[in-house]
A and B are shown apart, each in its own frame.
Chain A
Amino acid sequence: MTKYIIKRFLGMIPTLLIITTVAFIIMRIAPGGPFDRERAIPEAVRENIEKRYNLDKSLPEQYLIYLGGIIRGDFGPSYKYRDQTVTDLIFNSLPHSLILGTLALLVATFFGVLAGIIAALNQNTWIDYTAMSIAVFGVSVPAFVIGPVLMLIFAMKLKILPTSGWITGPDGWVTVIMPLIALSMSYFASIARLSRSSVLEVVRSDYVRTAKAKGLSPTMIILKHVLKGAMLPVVSYLGIAYSGIITGSVVIEQIFRIPGLGRFFVQSSLNRDYTMIMGVIIVYSTIVILMNFLVDILYSFLDPRISYQ
């Protein structure tokens, strides 16, 4: 087991290196550069700037310089935000995305699993239909619609929440409420549907029937047997969901003015902020790879049938 974990862990390094290399190449194939503006600048001025950022060197050279920096933990200067390094920008913004993403996933998981179990245990009753209608709504209405609607209701009409902002600002933690709901909605819905169907499946399995036959109370059966078995698909979904929630918060961050990493995901590419694009890609890939890794490990604990040799 330990051997497997170490092997999987080391396997992440080449994956990351390949992602970095491919991203570097694709990024540089794209036309335009970080210093292009509506006002085209004279050649001499452009050369000055490019020299300052090593952009006058050949591509392989630039690639090696960049890799060298990465190994030392230096993501380089941002071409767009010229007073800051990419490391600064990521270090300042990632925590906000992580807080929002983690909270959203916790909320989505808790309520999703709860709704799923309740719906499954009351299959084909009005409770089931209500829960699943909410889930269908959550899956089909995107966050960029839910966000402004929430803002309209709670900030503009009822005036009980500030329109936007973040916990670092004067309004504090109440600012989390709306982005949290908007971001977690679709994940809540997916998890609810997933847990409902897996609970339904597990309830009909042999070992649950055995448990019932032994005379265990329904609560005990659900907590000890059904839940554990039914959580497998949910757990494997959580890995993807967490990566998705972290990388997909860009719209929510923009609508609610959250100083997170999400907005750099798109903006840095549009700005051709080469070092920032690389930094964001590396951080996001690390999160995705890491989550997949954790899910695999967790799986083996949850399902005794899976063994890694």
Chain B
Amino acid sequence: MKKAFLALLAALMAFAFVSCGGKEEAAEVAMVKEPVEFRLNNGAEPESLDPHLIQGVPEHRIYEALFEGLITYNPEDASPLPGVAESWEASNGGTTYTFKIREGLVWTDGVKIDANTVVDSWIRMLDPATGSNYAWFPNMFIKGAEAFNSGEAGADSVQIRALDDMTFQMDLLGPLPYVIGALAHYSFGIVPMHAIEKFGNDWTKPENFVGNGPYVLESWVPQDKITVVPNDKYWDAEAVKLDRVVYLPIEDQNTSHNMYLNGEIDWDTTAPQDQIEQIQFRDDYHATPQLGTYYYVFQNEKKPFDDPRVRKALSMGFNRKNLVEKITKAGQIPAYSMVPDMAGYPAISGNFEDFDEAKKLLAEAGYPGGEGFPAFEILYNTSEGHKKIAEYIQSEWKNNLGIDVSLLNQEWATYLSTRNMGDFQVARAGWIGDYQDPNTFLDMFITGTPMNGGKYSNPKYDELISKAATMPDGPERMSVLADAEKIFILEDMGVMPIYYYVTINMIDLNKWGGFNFNVLDTHPPKDIYLK
């Protein structure tokens, strides 16, 4: 074993000194006539390029370049647009959808894309052997998907089918009206089964890569960069204006900011937290409301948090406006509901800051002036930002309510495990919506779901959420969801919303066009162009 290591090390050393070329690339660029290269900070090295194995924002950005599902996002407002599907219609009371596949679609290697490609891809996604992290998402929509994914039934239980080469059909668990928007998600991605069968796990390597998006993978140097170039076989190839997109996995915010200032990158997807105060006045700084909520979870089963009066008092007992203006500073919006502002949804309001009312509620619950309130902890994952917020809330609760709370930070994976097991009293949490519908913020608090670490449970709430899932789209359904949220937040204060997230992007819009801001923070590179 020892010798093998020595041999390996020796080989690595040798390799180190051989592999230091890298001038060819610069020469290649110089030969082409002023190619438009768009460089961005992608935040982290993608975990994978395989649409069925990914689960994060950096991966999503690359997915948008390399793949296209039945539906894509409209760059302006992240609403659904036809992609591989040219058109669709609902039947059976909104529980069956039939898609017409666009004619003449091919993969980058020329192989045809038809309705069977969609069926095979989705079956692969749900196959337990694929081990997809995001399988729960299609499971929420497709009839029979969960049974197959959990190994209880075969692939034929999944209610999707090709009616003919150009017609794809799926049956849903109910008339889930937000399904079309959800289909733009990468877990519904269409993948080249022929290439996957041929190359196995190596199919995403640049030499084997096959895709169907507006761009195709040119190079992938892990931890260094990913480059993509236009896919001339893409159905809308004419719309693609950039000659190359370079994704840099820059983890250090100061480095990426310096690179941005120096013109080494064109789009920075973040900004250094400690410099926000100065940076926010720049014209190329863009803070946009995002479909996401930062909140604290109460352990609803443990004393004293099993008393809604206590939960309400805590929620009313600190000033959110000061928090976002003096602590977080990036333009976050104070939150008094779980669901952020969303078109068509009647926002609920109430339980605002009110220190007197909070004291009254505490006294009613048996803790006048905070006396006798048991010692407890705020759990958060280790981060300077979360710490500052927790410290602020700690001092507010002390000053306004007379309650002592200590802080407990845990490293990310430990924190997640503690939170999911429900082994905490108050814990920090955040949720970014998966699609533009209130349901994505509400259905996780149904009794017994894995996300519900705070063990919130109210049969009336469960009933309303389940009821909404069977209703067709429209104001009535929205008002049922709003009723549910009223119970959840206004009556029960099941969790304590703190603020709605904003996303920060730095990009010079005088130079780059086709870059829009939307609540999903999605910016497809297909639409970006040099002005």
Contact = CB atoms under 8 A, between A and B. Distances in A.
Interface of A: 9-10, 12-13, 16, 30-33, 35-45, 47-49, 51-53, 70-71, 73, 77, 80-84, 88-89, 91-96, 98-99, 148, 151-152, 155-156, 159, 162-164, 166-170, 172, 254-257, 259-260, 263, 270-272, 282, 286-287, 290
Contact of A45 (B135, B225, B411, B412): B135
A54 to B, nearest CB: 11
Given A163-B264, A286-B5, A254 B252 contact: yes
B110 interface: no
A70 B5 CA distance: 10
Interface stretch (B97-105, B326-334, B414-422): B414-422
Interface string B144-157: 00100111000000
Contacts of B420: 36, 40
A304 to B, nearest CB: 28
B131 A49 contact: yes
B413 to A, nearest CB: 3
Interface of B: 1-2, 4-6, 8-9, 12-13, 15-17, 19-20, 22-23, 25-26, 29, 45, 47-50, 53, 55, 128-133, 135-136, 139, 146, 149-151, 201-202, 204-205, 221-225, 248, 250-252, 254-255, 258-259, 261-262, 264, 411-418, 420, 429-431, 450-451, 453
A199 to B, nearest CB: 31
B8 A38 contact: no
A286 B10 CA distance: 12
B133 A49 contact: yes
B442 to A, nearest CB: 14
Contacts of B23: 172
B450 A259 contact: no
Contacts of A287: 9
Contacts, number: 192
Contact of A38 (B4, B135, B223, B430): B430
B16 A98 contact: yes
A148 B5 CA distance: 36
A43 B12 contact: no
Contacts of A82: 47-48, 50, 53
A246 to B, nearest CB: 11
B413 A93 contact: no
Contact of B255 (A40, A77, A257): A257
A272 B413 contact: yes
Contact of B262 (A159, A263, A270, A286): A159
A163 B258 contact: yes
A163 B268 CA distance: 15
A12 B254 CA distance: 42
A81 B45 contact: yes
Given A163-B258, A163-B259, A169-B225, A45 B413 contact: no
Contacts of B450: 40-43
Contacts of B261: 156
Question: A-B pairs with the 4 shortest C-beta distances?
Answer: A32-B413, A95-B16, A44-B150, A259-B223
A95 B223 CA distance: 13
B204 A99 contact: no
A10 B23 CA distance: 43
B248 A257 contact: yes
Given A80-B47, A290-B9, A89 B222 contact: yes
B221 A259 contact: yes
24 contacts: A35-B133, A37-B416, A38-B430, A38-B431, A39-B451, A41-B133, A44-B151, A45-B135, A48-B128, A49-B132, A82-B48, A82-B50, A82-B53, A95-B15, A98-B16, A151-B255, A155-B262, A166-B224, A172-B22, A257-B224, A257-B252, A260-B223, A270-B413, A290-B9
B413 A99 contact: no
Given A71-B1, A89-B222, A257-B248, A32 B416 contact: yes
B364 to A, nearest CB: 34
A300 B398 CA distance: 66
